[in-house]
Chains A and B, each alone.
Chain A
């Protein structure tokens, strides 16, 4: 277990170091998140659609698409100089490689969300009040699952000719459940509905996470091995 953890952390730390060195993907994802929120905010007719009505959709669409941008870069760095082969040749399990890449992606997407959420609050001027903790928990739960699917898909879409297009097309159907649940639950929280109303959504996201983290972990070896 300690051996697995050592390898997982080494891979995640390496990904973070590569990203910090170039910053291209992080800045792109953050700029994208900011732009989407700006567009949602200013394209809205404030007299016809309230911020509380469109806000949840804006937040979750921003997170979903910015997250997809972030995931694209994950295996692009492995393809350059065929660096992925170094991982495949190492005496480590494919599961450890997946978990390392997954952890790196999770941290990356959470950083994007940590910037997007305050921007959302500023642009939409919504009184989150006591709902902020629950919204953060929703974002965390949804991210845990969709990043697992995204990591798996990114590992093979990167080898296609149009990787930047292929990943969103593959990933979007799997993003629908957490995004729909997130929008519904966030809307209820912003409307001041009692927490008991969204417990079911939390359970759904937890089930989604377990199902897709396990599935992605099991499928990853057959995707990266020939």
Chain B
């Protein structure tokens, strides 16, 4: 579904990614972990077409999402920011997203129900808590039932029950056949997913593992890698 091949990305003179290759097949979850500033968010944004690779290619379903607009219909993205209009309500935001994607606004309402966004759906999203806003952001990303879901630090700032609910929903999406690329620091939370794990370090995928490996053992390897 998602193929990242030999991707380099520079910001000015600084090379953030130096030849990253990654595949996320349909129905599978890939977790990307790494230290702050190692390029995880850059990789997530390249994967959805918000950034252009300096070298290499990104393909979603065999097409470049920056070039082929219809490919973007099948991509859901949750970033550091909510991508929501602060002065609109959750319902209005989702209705607008649904119109952009040419799907029924009812799809958005149904997602708000599934994510337990209650009466808060009727107030401007700028007044929502971080956790509630994150649920609405996830609903926005899922409104067109995407085949590729890219989540950049989706658990940051969430309380334990909210994080648990979000992780469960991600697992459900993968079980339903979506390819999921998830960037996260919250290893304890995401380790319950059945996923491949890629450690990004020094601008490259320095280590791969899976959540089948005991978390403590992975932490030891991971820590050693970051130290150097």
A associates with B: yes
Count CB-based A-B contacts (< 8 Å). 81
Contact for B79 among A14, A17, A82, CB less than 8 A: A82
- B83 to A86, Cβ gap below 8 A? yes
Q: Which of B37-92 contact A (CB under 8 A)?
A: 48-52, 66, 69-73, 75, 77, 79-88, 92
Instruction: Judge if B96 is at the interface, Cβ distance under 8 Å.
Output: yes
- A77 to B83, Cβ gap below 8 A? no
| Residues of chain B lying within 8 A (CB to CB) of residue A206 | none
The CA-CA distance from A146 to B80 in the complex, in Å, is: 35
| Residues of chain B lying within 8 A (CB to CB) of residue A86 | 83-84, 97, 100, 140
Contact for B88 among A6, A10, A21, A90, CB less than 8 A: A21
| Residues of chain A lying within 8 A (CB to CB) of residue B77 | 85, 89
The CA-CA distance from A17 to B87 in the complex, in Å, is: 9
- A87 to B88, Cβ gap below 8 A? no
Instruction: Judge if A191 is at the interface, Cβ distance under 8 Å.
Output: no
The CA-CA distance from A7 to B97 in the complex, in Å, is: 10
Instruction: Judge if B101 is at the interface, Cβ distance under 8 Å.
Output: yes
A80-108 to B contact mask, C-beta < 8 Å, 1/0: 11110111111111000000000000000
The CA-CA distance from A86 to B141 in the complex, in Å, is: 9
Interface class of chain A by DSSP: helix
Q: Which of A7, A86, A93 has the most CB of B within 10 A?
A: A86
- B99 to A10, Cβ gap below 8 A? yes
- A82 to B81, Cβ gap below 8 A? yes
| Residues of chain A lying within 8 A (CB to CB) of residue B79 | 82, 85
- A81 to B87, Cβ gap below 8 A? no
Instruction: Judge if B167 is at the interface, Cβ distance under 8 Å.
Output: no
The CA-CA distance from A93 to B140 in the complex, in Å, is: 19
Question: Chain B's nearest CB lies how many Å from the CB of A82?
Answer: 4
| Residues of chain B lying within 8 A (CB to CB) of residue A126 | none
| Residues of chain B lying within 8 A (CB to CB) of residue A22 | 87
Q: CB within 8 Å of B: which residues of A?
A: 3, 6-7, 10-11, 14, 17-18, 21-22, 77, 80-83, 85-93, 225-226
